[in-house]
A = this chain, B = another copy of it.
Amino acid sequence: MPVEWQPVQQSRTHELVLRSIEERVFAGELRAGDRLPPERELAPVLGVSRSALREALRVLETIGVLVAQPGRGPDAGARIVRNPDDALGRLLRLHFALGSYSLHDVLEARVVLERSSFEGAACHAPDEDLDEAEELVAGMAEPGIGVSAFNDLDTRFHVLIARSSGNALTSTLTSAVRESVRPLVLRALEAADDWPATARALNAEHRTLLTLVREGSGPEAADLVEWHIRGLHGTLVEGPTGPAAP
């Protein structure tokens, strides 16, 4: 039984370079912290021009597995790193803006991920993280807080809980998904009829959430955060997500 025809991959040189470096990563020969040879050395070794190599490096940089620094010394050059959050965030933001995902999709994904985050956090969140979360909640309760500042703190609160759940992957995903709807949340908060009352209501939920997490009530926290998210998303509407809406 022949499988379906696969599109023959036309190999642009920078993709070959990319594949070559990826294989080294998969094989464990390149680890986080390792440094690549200088571009001017590596390019001729791979048999490509410096431009093609640079495009491959740029790809790796956007994926968050590489950083490059000019200069001289132990910190200079191209180094393998592990920084997936920015890359994933940009990816989801752009695709959400392009309509690859509907608001409903993002809402459901947030519910699923954050339920898991809060259940995990209730089980094994370090006290330091919960103390930090307490500060964020307190910050959101400041009277007269602006919508923008509130939104920032709220994002950091949810991301912090995700990180403290002990699962780096769901933490990254949670952060990225939350970031992708940030402009929409911001707009929704700005359009709230009674902003101080809205802030008070959200703060009450945050405090309860934190209490539930502290006492290890995972399922209850999960249910509440689902309600919390669904309530907020109910006020959102689709549209251009630009941070510079005139």
Chain A positions within 8 Å of B, measured between CB atoms, are 1, 3, 14, 22-23, 25-28, 31-32, 51, 54-55, 58-60, 62-65, 80, 82, 84, 87-88, 90-95, 97-102, 104-106, 108-109, 112-113, 115-116, 120, 139, 152, 167-170, 172-173, 177, 183, 239-245
Q: Check A14 against B113 for contact (C-beta < 8 Å).
A: no
Q: Check A65 against B94 for contact (C-beta < 8 Å).
A: yes
Q: Check B91 against A87 for contact (C-beta < 8 Å).
A: yes
Q: Told that A105-B170, A109-B170 touch, could you supply 19 new A-B pairs with CB distance under 8 A?
A: A14-B58, A25-B98, A26-B97, A26-B242, A27-B245, A28-B240, A54-B55, A58-B59, A59-B59, A60-B94, A62-B62, A63-B90, A63-B91, A82-B95, A87-B91, A101-B168, A108-B116, A109-B169, A112-B115
State the copy count for this chain: 2
Interface class of chain A by DSSP: helix
* Complex contacts, A62 vs chain B, CB 8 Å: 59, 62-63
- Distance A211 CA – B47 CA, assembled complex (angstroms): 54
* Complex contacts, A92 vs chain B, CB 8 Å: 84, 169
Contacts A/B (CB < 8 Å), 17 sampled = A23-B244, A26-B241, A26-B242, A26-B244, A27-B244, A31-B99, A32-B99, A51-B51, A55-B55, A58-B58, A64-B91, A64-B95, A88-B88, A92-B169, A101-B172, A109-B173, A169-B177
